[in-house]
Structure 1
């Protein structure tokens, strides 16, 4: 089986939101959670995969990164803003 993009989930204070998902996306989340359990033995509620998947998506979206840099230029001293 190929290496999954989502690894161990960090323990972070959540912000609760409510969203509706298409049934096909929910089925895929369940299947992904099952694959994750087979790969590393970590059983996880499929809903807990949504946040790390979104984070991964945004972190690898070049267009989003470019827009973010354009809206938040680096601060003086070389630090990220």
Structure 2
């Protein structure tokens, strides 16, 4: 087998997750999409913003990031 410097590209197939949110959260998400559009002069549907929002949230949770690092290293 040939040695290659580039690691195998991870699976990038999207996984569909269906959720129900309360009306107040749905309104807040719509408001956020409007705020995003005003901020960046680019309209994105809520369905496109939610994955980015979740990713940013998870990456900003230091305890969670630390926990995942520990789990990955077998601690």
Q: Same fold by TM-score, threshold 0.5 exceeded?
A: yes
Report the Cα distance in structure 2 between the residues aligned to 1:22 and 1:31, rounded to whole angstroms: 14
- Corresponding residue of 2:64: 64
- 1:10-29 aligned at under 5 Å gives the runs 14-29=14-29
1:6-62 deviation per Cα after TM superposition (whole angstroms, max 9, x unaligned): xxxxxx753211011111111111001101111111111112211111100100101
Report the Cα distance in structure 1 between the residues aligned to 2:13 and 2:44, rounded to whole angstroms: 17
Report the Cα distance in structure 2 between the residues aligned to 1:36 and 1:13, rounded to whole angstroms: 26
Report the Cα distance in structure 2 between the residues aligned to 1:14 and 1:33, rounded to whole angstroms: 21
Is the radius of gyration larger for structure 1 or structure 2? 2
Runs of 4+ aligned structure 1 residues displaced above 6 Å come to none
Q: Which TM-score applies when normalising by structure 1?
A: 0.69
Q: Which TM-score applies when normalising by structure 2?
A: 0.74
Greater helix proportion: 2
In the alignment of these two chains, the number of paired residues is 63
Q: Which structure would you say has the larger RCO, counting Cα contacts within 8 Å and 6 or more residues apart?
A: 1
Segments of 5+ residues of structure 1 without an aligned counterpart are: 1-11, 75-81
Report the Cα distance in structure 1 between the residues aligned to 2:14 and 2:33, rounded to whole angstroms: 19
